[in-house]
Structures are given as C-alpha cells and as structure tokens.
Structure 1
Amino acid sequence: VKWQKDDMDHNMNFFSVSSDGRIVSWTLVKNELVHTDVIKLLVEGSTMEGPEGLQIQTIGCGTSFDFHKKIDYLFLVGTEEGKIYKCSKSYSSQFLDIFNAHHMAVDAVNWNPYHSKVFISCSSDWTVKIWDHTIKTPMFIYDLNSAVGDVAWAPYSSTVFAAVTTDGK
C-alpha cells in the first residue's frame, strides 16, 4: 500500500498491489472506501486457449511497487515472475515498459529520491540491481549470496542503499 496526495476534492487516497495482478486506487469519500482498478498485470505472450476456444491470459503476481518522486503519474511494479513493469496512473490499457529484471520474485523496487531516472530492485535471486528507467539492462548488479528481502535508498545520499537478506545480514 502506498499513500498518494489527496485528490482534487481533498479526499484521501492510496494504491495497493496484489498477487491477483491488480493495481487498485482506493479513495475515502465521506465514510465509504471507493476503489478503481488502475491496471492488471497481464503477462505478454501468455495467452492460452481454454475450453470452447476461450482465450485465457496469465496474470502477473504483483509483489512491490513505488511511485516516482517527481513525475506524479509514473510508477513501477515488481512481480513474482521477476519482471518490473513501468506504468502510468492515467494509461491503464498497456505498460510503458517491461524490464526482464530478475530470475525470481522482485521483493522490492524503489525510485532514487535524488536521480529521477534511477531505481533499485532486489530479488529472491540473491541480487540487488540499479537501473536507469530509460535503459532495459541494469547499470549495476550486486550478488549478496542469499535472497534479498528488501532494499532502500539512504535519505542523505544518491549512491548509498541498504539491503537485507533472508539469512539475517
């Protein structure tokens, strides 16, 4: 769950990501929580034919997400399949870009607060990767020899981050 700025009517709102493949916008209007699907994480090239010729598409399982610090509509979504999707709040029919980021689940993805093109991701595949969102391959890869559960940029520096592994380091 990530809180957003209040909407134009001063209603509080937040977004959620889920393993059901949905990114949902939630708005508190008076005493009611109203929700809207922003985007579904449909895996490209995964359409299968079901019974009676029915087309079935595989849903990506969302694990993490982060909103850009300066570009209000832009956000990233990490998935259980190891992909990172670059998305727009206002354009829900397709992704802006897809990164084949990791070999296992993306456990965290975070925009750099100092450099608007840079984000970081970590995964159960033991790696932390630093990306420029305009380039499809990572700029830096760190192998931490254990599944990486979370990663965060330091609040005081553009080049320092902390990561935690499942073996307690």
Structure 2
Amino acid sequence: MKLKKSQTLKKKAAENKKKTERIISAMTPGFCVDFNPIDSSIYLAGTSECLIHKCSVSNSQNVLHTYKKHFCPVNHVEWSPFSPDVFLSCSSDWTIQLWKQDCSDPVMSFKSTQRTVSTVRWSPNSSTVFAAINGEMVEIWDLNLNIMLPTVVHRAAAAVTSLLFASGTDCVLVGDTEGEVTVYQLKNLGVGRDKKMESLEDIISFVVSR
C-alpha cells in the first residue's frame, strides 16, 4: 500500500508541476504583438523571456513556433507589409533581427549601436526600407543600399518614443518624451521604389546563399 501511495503522490506532484509550468508560461509578460497582414488568425508575440512566439487565435493553448535569438526582452515585432512570410524584431540586446517564419534562425541580423532598440517599423512605401528607434536616435535602413549600416542616422532633440511612416509620401513622423511630434522628409529614398515583394526576397535569397 505504501508503494502504491508513493507512486500516486509522485504522479500528482508531476501533474501539479506541469500545471504550474503552464500557468507560469501563460503569465509571461508579452511586450508586443503583430498580426500577419494576409492571415489575421496568425500573430507574433514578443516576450520578456527573449522569445518570439508565433500563435493562432484558434489555438490558445499552444504556440505554433518559437523563435530564439534575442537574449534580452523583445520590444517590438512587425510583419513585412510586402512579404507575409518575413518579419522584423528588435530587443534590449541592441540588435534587430530579420526572420522568415519557416526558419528557426534569423536570416539577417543588424546592429549599429550599443543601446536598447525599442521600435522597428517597415516602410509601407518600399519593401526594403525600415526604421528603428534607440534612445534619441532614429535610423532609416535601406537594404538595397546597405545591409550592414543604416542609410540615415538622425539624433532627435529628445528621447524618441514612437515612429510612423506616412503612407504614400516620403515623410516619417517621430514622437518624443517632450510631447512633440516632428515630421521629417526622407531624401534620396524615392517613394514607391522597390515596392515589390521580390526586391526584399531577392536580397534575402542573396544573403542566405552566401
């Protein structure tokens, strides 16, 4: 009887441990979320545990895939508006990662500063252009011009809190801790240039094949 009772207690303890792990996982703070532009039932969630989870609204119990590269909290994730299989992430580990959803590892990594990257946003006007925020710095990257360094680096008057590309124009709106919104015009980045999905996909294919 004692042996049987001991086994039952061990089984219950294991079940309780699994339940606790599920609860802890469910309570992990999510820092950001973004829905796929083509399939709105699929979304990405960046967490304080340095992970990115791909999830489905129809399956709340399990994640579809987990992406592991960052080693600090993931601050922002965003799907490409031109290529629904591609997304960007940024983190307090100073890096930006470019992913394809069917790959466990990022296909490209970017780092130009030793500061937390708080936001990364795709341009709605060009498939190869995105922007990043780190402190007072605003960076504009154009992968057609350079995959190692940002094309434009601008220091704002105060710490930047938000950024938005203006659709259909060559302007970007930047909000800061002083409560101001500043509109910048992007020069030498033609609106609509390389807008097609193939431009981004060609760059990714070239990098992966090297």
TM-score (norm 1): 0.78
CA-CA distance at 1:164 after TM superposition: 1.0
| Matching residue within 32, 35, 38 for 2:66 | 38
Q: Which runs of 5+ in 2 are unaligned?
A: 1-32, 181-210
1:110-152 CA distances to partner (integer Å, 9 max, x unpaired)? Answer: 111111111011112x110100235110111110032211111
Aligned to 2:94: 82
CA-CA distance at 1:33 after TM superposition: 4.5
Contact kept, 8 Å, 1:107 with 1:148, in 2: the verdict is no
Contact kept, 8 Å, 2:35 with 2:79, in 1: the verdict is no
CA-CA distance at 1:81 after TM superposition: 2.0
Superposed counterparts of 1:101-112, under 5 Å:
101-112=112-123
The residue type equivalent to 1:16 in the other structure is A
Deviation above 3 Å: which 4+ runs of structure 1?
A: none
The residue type equivalent to 2:34 in the other structure is K
| Matching residue within 3, 19, 29 for 2:48 | 19
| Matching residue within 124, 132, 142 for 2:142 | 132
**What is the alpha-carbon distance in structure 2 between the residues aligned to residue 27 and residue 33 of structure 1?**
9
**What is the alpha-carbon distance in structure 1 between the residues aligned to residue 158 and residue 93 of structure 2?**
18
The verdict on how the C-alpha distance between 1:95 and 1:6 changes in structure 2, with shifts beyond 3 A counting, is closer
1:33-62 CA distances to partner (integer Å, 9 max, x unpaired)? Answer: 5313331124xxxxxxxxxxxxxxxx2321
Q: Which has the larger radius of gyration?
A: 2
The verdict on how the C-alpha distance between 1:6 and 1:115 changes in structure 2, with shifts beyond 3 A counting, is closer
**What is the alpha-carbon distance in structure 1 between the residues aligned to residue 97 and residue 151 of structure 2?**
17
Count of aligned residue pairs for this structure pair = 145
**What is the alpha-carbon distance in structure 2 between the residues aligned to residue 136 and residue 28 of structure 1?**
36
Aligned to 1:119: 130
- DSSP 3-state at the match of 1:168: coil
- DSSP 3-state at the match of 2:63: strand
The residue type equivalent to 1:116 in the other structure is S
Aligned to 2:57: 28
CA-CA distance at 1:78 after TM superposition: 0.8
Contact kept, 8 Å, 1:41 with 1:61, in 2: the verdict is no
**What is the alpha-carbon distance in structure 2 between the residues aligned to residue 69 and residue 111 of structure 1?**
7
The residue type equivalent to 1:37 in the other structure is H
CA-CA distance at 1:156 after TM superposition: 2.9
Bigger share in helix: 2
**What is the alpha-carbon distance in structure 1 between the residues aligned to residue 47 and residue 124 of structure 2?**
25
CA-CA distance at 1:95 after TM superposition: 1.5
Contact kept, 8 Å, 1:66 with 1:111, in 2: the verdict is yes
Bigger share in strand: 1
